[in-house]
Structure 1
Amino acid sequence: MPGILGIISRHHRAEGASDLARQFRAMADVLTHFGYYQLESLPHDEFCIGRIGVPCRGYRHVRRDDATGNLVAFDGFVYGWRGECRSDKPWAVEPVSLIPLEDTEQLEHLAASINGSFTLCLHDARDDRFFISTNRLGFRRLYYYEDNEVIAFAPEIKAFMALDGFRRELDLEGAADLFNYSFVIGNRTLYKHVRLLPAATTLIIQDRAIRKTKRYWWHTYTDQLDGDADHLAREMFDLSSRLLLRQTRDNSKLLMGLSGGMDSRYLAYLLKTAGRQATYSTYGSPRCDDVRIAGLVAAKLDLGSSFRQFEFDPLAYSKFGAWAAWLTDGMVDLIYPCHTLGVLQHFTENPVEYEYLNSVWSGRVNFTMTWGTAADIRTDLTFDQKLHRLSSMMGLQYLDDAYYFLLAPDFREEVRKLALPHIKHVLREAEPVGRNFLHQKDTFTLLTRTRRLHHQYDPYRYYFAEHFALVDDDIVEFRNRVPLNWVVDRRLYLKMYRDLVPEMAGIVYQKTGVNLFATPNYAAQRRHERMNRLRYLLGRVSLGRINLYDHHTFLHQDIWYRKYAKNRLFFEDILLDQRTSRRGFYDPPAIRRLLKNQAHGSSNYEVIAKLATFELFNRFFIDRESHPKAPYTLNG
């Protein structure tokens, strides 16, 4: 993933400059996943800062002010500016040119002025202070590490392995998160001494030590229940239309994924009506609902040859599993990254010339709507009641003894006892946003699923300059003031669709099986659930020999595990290996039973993928086994 990186000596001595430069270069080498990546840096006798990643728009990403000696390293995109700015169109200007480095007094507060998707590092030469900041959206990750010799920061935790004194110690609490929730929450990582810098936060380094992390923005919500829905729907539509024009350039080469969902078809509609040139891709088996519906959207918008379809590679796990675990720092299971890597191998676009647009806008990520329902509009819930609801949302009710007994006894107890405390910690962080549980739940979701899961498993960002087309700080502020009765169940979002984009609303939605003007057929949904149960039972009684595909979904990982020996061997070679057994995290007999049951028709692929991902993390990040190289590259 592209991003800023740096290493700062804890000591004021110039004789260590060559060592710092060597370690900085080694960090950059670890992060150079492809030959078309470029490194820009600003060396100094006592520190090195810079940016590594895909070249973008011909922009520079580092700059030094000759008058003051102040420095900036910047990664990402500026969408707007608060207060006085050097340009009336800041989104069309090279970001480092906008940074007022000559104003030393304002450097500490600069990140709060930027509306965008970015990370940046500023150095105040006069007082020898560093201000390292993340954006409000939390889309671009930044981690930091400190020991007695250096302070370092990077967009991926693997970069710290290049440091001379780095301690490769597993964080057991981070590992517990992985097994309890399938991703790491809070600010933890799987490294004991590495932490995530939260969204909308500045890390302040002074006197060559980390002084504090300072949050410069936090969510504020309205408590209003009702409002003028017609006006709000129009405002939402107009705002997103402006964002699209601002965040894409009319001469840009653009890529985006088009599924059967609502967000991607809305982005495709706006791109088409704005006259932007883009290439649209969908993926899955030709008969699956997502591909079929994406085809309907493409036909309605007359996308022609700019729309293309790829099939998922059923051998993606065996081909790309190790690479996926390495790319994503082992902090999410390898399912989604594997499939995306399988699709990306078919791309012929030059990643230096194209930008990839992330169409995420509503639903689970909460940028414009909410994770909650009308039942969450409550101010009378006790802390324990909130905790129960959130633990259910995180899936803890599905983790039974059969699951935990895959782990070795001591590790098992450590994992189980941390499940609720870690959710409690994030809930306490979310509670101050307001009295209403709906707002607390939304904030909890942003802090967990959005910033630690959805922003972690996206491989497109490693291959292309990727950013949002419809999300910025303004749309988040708009969403936070939408009345409660309209924000739940995506009511305002659906109203906007029906009233202002009826041609898209009239196309069937894959999750309900009907368009937005029709009532969902709940009887059909129940029949589908019964059919899925029948598919499962047939697989079990036939010992995995009968495998019926469900064309409502584009992923068939359980079937692909049974059908393709290479996939089974990939996981068996990892989980049945003596190195895995000796490590002591898993119960070997239970693991053998799990793999046998999976081959005989069970549906535990997600659990198997999680177990394998964690073992690969230990091999690549703790043992320092030789990590996998990119199985392919794009035409950079």
Structure 2
Amino acid sequence: MCGIAGFIDFSKQSDHQILIKMTDAMIHRGPNDAGYEVFEQDTAMIGLGQRRLSILDLSASGHQPMHYENYTIIFNGEIYNFREIREELRMLGYTFNSDGDTEVLLKGYAAWKENVLSKCIGMFAFVIYDRLKNEVILFRDRAGVKPLYYYWHKQQLFFASELKGIMAHPSFPKEIDPDSLSLFLQYSYIPGPFTIFQNTRKLAPGHLLRVKLTNGEVSESAYWNVLRSYQQEITELPESEIIDYTASLLHSAYNYRMVSDVPVGVFLSGGYDSTSVAAILQSDSTSKIKTFTIGYKEQAWDESAEARKIADYLGTEHFEWIVGPEEARGVLEHLPEIYDEPFADNSTVPTTLVSQFAAKEVKVVLSADGGDELFAGYNKFNQSLKYTNSFPRIIQRSLSGMMSLVDPENIPYFNKQYNFSSRYEKMKLIWASGKPQQALKYISQYLTESEVGHYTGVGKSAYQTNFDLNGELNRISDPLNRLLAVDYKTFLVDNNLVKVDRATMSVSIEGREPMLDHRLVEFLAQVPSSLKMKGGVNKYILKEIVHRYVPKKLMERPKRPFIAPLQVWFKDELKEQMQYYLTGSRLAKSGFFNVPHVEKLLAHYLAGGKVSHQKLWNMLVFQLWYSRWIEKL
């Protein structure tokens, strides 16, 4: 696990000192070692930098950049099956000087070029410089577990594992993209490939970016796309075989993620996803695995007791930390440093805290993201199907048309209900579209497009995101699977994976995502929705597997998201911070907000109005980010 950074500068303005600055901006991603190399070509300066967090082969033989023949690599991530690939390469005559996966990936590329990716089980972002072909290629793993950003403008291409690495280049203009800001305020994150800055992109999961040094041509292409898996024929295997095969894939995926030369632990919330990881790994281990959870003094949000019961039943070595607003206050000011573009997922605070807690014991931790996307756990999937199938299309269109004639603020009784205007607007849009995938889009928004226009001068974003996939979804026959594919390409990659990667790396531990093993993803994509939601039970397949290890009565409880009680704290202990950053004078500095409207919303919220705190949280996070990265630089 590492941080990588570099440049391909056709203007030849970049040098070794700039590369060091870019790379060392991410020292938290790799405190154990560093490497920086600059290559001068006739047409460009190429800089490759890496910060190393030693997880496999702790010796100096894992130093990067690493060279072989005409190839140079910098690599962030893990190839869990590197030993099997290494044996295959040895049969072809390759020899090895290290016991890590970087050398295997490098020589695998020499042997098979991009086809090496089809052999890799892992998470990765890496760069190959091929001096013979005179090109540089950037790669990102299938799920997007490992991040990779790039800026391409005016003959300069900068790339890094985090935006702060790109921002460290003196030629990078920190120009905010208003369309991306609009997306952020809607969703609380910025869906890829967009970022908060102009001319700056996230390399899409399962994609590579090829840069030809001879003519400066830059092109992005896919080597893997989850849609292709969902477009396959639905499997006709019987239920028992589907469950058994899924269980075998889980065992393989989970145990591969235990490959490490340093201590490994598991985040445990007590829900089905994290319990499946802890239960299967503990059943396959002769020693106690380490599990970590945090809880809250506010009982309505606290899951620590449930997690403790699961840990006691499984016999793990369990670590628990009960936190309150004081711990949250310490995290809030650091969020812009950890998440270096606006990012307002409510669970950033607990994820950062549990990462800090786990870092005292382990250097690698397994999370369980992807379970809701793969096994259909979120209620938003049920809602999206229900809302668009409850009435015939003609009635939906008529209802939507009538709703357009009425201001929700003028509807007695209902206008006093929680977040009513937003929900009213969403239902109007859902019935106007009639499409479950569009319903998922609107349900996923915290501020609707019209509200963004009301509270800011930004307005509707001109960008099309993966929420707006259309023709690509028509080849997916199963309606639920369409929604799972969209959520995989949006909320999972650009929200959940960002959250865990930045939180863990901020304290120099490696976060792994065993549920996103591509073999599991590809198989479950072909499983019918009737088994993902069966008899009114979401996540049916996973629950059947977990019940083999943990009694059903111990698991059955209402599903709760892994979030902090911010809506309580912002009216009490953290009220001062909310008020400070959302005052008119501070809001006016960025020039994006309609100050009177935001101040009115804040006053209504603090007076006990039934306002979604997430709307204000999104604005607060942007203000925190703006203060750190724009005002101070």
Shorter-chain TM range is 0.7 to 0.9
Q: Is the 8 A contact 2:138 2:209 kept in 1?
A: yes
Gaps of 5+ in 1: 514-551, 627-636
Gaps of 5+ in 2: 394-431
Q: Is the 8 A contact 1:3 1:119 kept in 2?
A: no
Q: What is the Cα deviation at residue 212 of structure 1?
A: 0.9
Aligned twin of 1:494: 543
Higher mean C-alpha deviation, range 135-144 or range 293-302 = 293-302
Matched, 1:86 2:89: yes
Q: What is the Cα deviation at residue 619 of structure 1?
A: 2.9
Matched, 1:597 2:624: no
Aligned twin of 1:23: 18
Q: Is the 8 A contact 1:223 1:483 kept in 2?
A: no
Question: What letter matches 2:594 in structure 1?
Answer: D
SS of the residue corresponding to residue 51 of structure 1 reads: strand
SS of the residue corresponding to residue 174 of structure 2 reads: coil
Aligned twin of 1:311: 322
Matched, 1:559 2:577: no
Residues 522-578 of structure 1 show CA distances to partners (whole Å, capped at 9, x for unaligned) of xxxxxxxxxxxxxxxxxxxxxxxxxxxxxx9863222212221xx122122211162
Residues 75-118 of structure 1 show CA distances to partners (whole Å, capped at 9, x for unaligned) of 11113379883379x9x951122135486584344334322111
Q: What is the Cα deviation at residue 600 of structure 1?
A: 2.6
Q: Is the 8 A contact 1:284 1:554 kept in 2?
A: no
* TM, length-normalised to structure 1: 0.79
Q: Distance in 1 between matches of 2:584 and 2:625?
A: 15
Q: Choose from 174, 179, 189 the match for 1:168.
A: 174
Q: Choose from 294, 307, 314 the match for 1:301.
A: 314
Aligned twin of 1:360: 369
Question: What letter matches 1:451 in structure 2?
Answer: V
1:190-229 aligned at under 5 Å gives the runs 190-207=196-213, 209-218=216-225, 219-221=228-230, 222-224=232-234, 227-229=237-239
Residues 475-507 of structure 1 show CA distances to partners (whole Å, capped at 9, x for unaligned) of 112212223422343222223334x33x34331
Higher mean C-alpha deviation, range 385-394 or range 252-261 = 385-394
Q: What is the Cα deviation at residue 135 of structure 1?
A: 0.8
Question: What letter matches 1:561 in structure 2?
Answer: F
Residues 597 and 217 (structure 1), Cα distance of their counterparts in 2 relative to 1, 3 Å cut? same
Q: Distance in 2 between matches of 1:280 and 1:182?
A: 29
Question: What letter matches 1:69 in structure 2?
Answer: N
Residues 319 and 247 (structure 1), Cα distance of their counterparts in 2 relative to 1, 3 Å cut? closer
Residues 345-400 of structure 1 show CA distances to partners (whole Å, capped at 9, x for unaligned) of 445626xx62111123411x33787874598599999975245423333236x749
Question: What letter matches 2:582 in structure 1?
Answer: L
Q: Distance in 2 between matches of 1:483 and 1:425?
A: 22
Aligned twin of 2:55: 56
Q: Choose from 287, 291, 294 the match for 1:283.
A: 294
Q: Is the 8 A contact 1:290 1:510 kept in 2?
A: no
Aligned twin of 1:545: none
Q: Distance in 2 between matches of 1:291 and 1:54?
A: 30
Aligned twin of 1:117: 123
Q: Is the 8 A contact 1:314 1:560 kept in 2?
A: yes
Matched, 1:271 2:281: yes
Q: What is the Cα deviation at residue 607 of structure 1?
A: 1.8
Aligned twin of 1:5: 5
RMSD across aligned positions (CA)? 3.5
Aligned twin of 1:327: 338
Q: Distance in 1 between matches of 2:474 and 2:81?
A: 28
Aligned twin of 2:504: 460
Residues 146 and 251 (structure 1), Cα distance of their counterparts in 2 relative to 1, 3 Å cut? closer
Matched, 1:38 2:33: yes
* TM, length-normalised to structure 2: 0.80
Residues 71 and 329 (structure 1), Cα distance of their counterparts in 2 relative to 1, 3 Å cut? same
Q: How many residue pairs are counted as aligned between the two chains?
A: 562
SS of the residue corresponding to residue 229 of structure 2 reads: coil
SS of the residue corresponding to residue 557 of structure 2 reads: coil
Question: What letter matches 1:562 in structure 2?
Answer: K
Q: What is the Cα deviation at residue 432 of structure 1?
A: 5.8
Q: Is the 8 A contact 2:195 2:202 kept in 1?
A: yes
Residues 405 and 478 (structure 1), Cα distance of their counterparts in 2 relative to 1, 3 Å cut? closer
Q: What is the Cα deviation at residue 172 of structure 1?
A: 0.9
Matched, 1:507 2:554: yes
Q: What is the Cα deviation at residue 449 of structure 1?
A: 0.4
Higher mean C-alpha deviation, range 428-437 or range 143-152 = 428-437
Aligned twin of 2:409: none
Aligned twin of 2:254: 244
Matched, 1:588 2:595: yes
Aligned twin of 2:619: 611
SS of the residue corresponding to residue 333 of structure 1 reads: coil
Aligned twin of 1:533: none
Q: Choose from 398, 401, 407 the match for 2:455.
A: 407
SS of the residue corresponding to residue 594 of structure 1 reads: helix
Residues 424-446 of structure 1 show CA distances to partners (whole Å, capped at 9, x for unaligned) of 77313742653443333222111
Matched, 1:573 2:617: no
Higher mean C-alpha deviation, range 480-489 or range 377-386 = 377-386
Aligned twin of 1:392: 442
Question: What letter matches 1:310 in structure 2?
Answer: W
Q: What is the Cα deviation at residue 213 of structure 1?
A: 0.6
SS of the residue corresponding to residue 616 of structure 1 reads: helix
Question: What letter matches 1:300 in structure 2?
Answer: Y
Aligned twin of 1:143: 149
Question: What letter matches 2:70 in structure 1?
Answer: G
Q: Choose from 479, 482, 485 the match for 2:524.
A: 479
Aligned twin of 1:439: 481
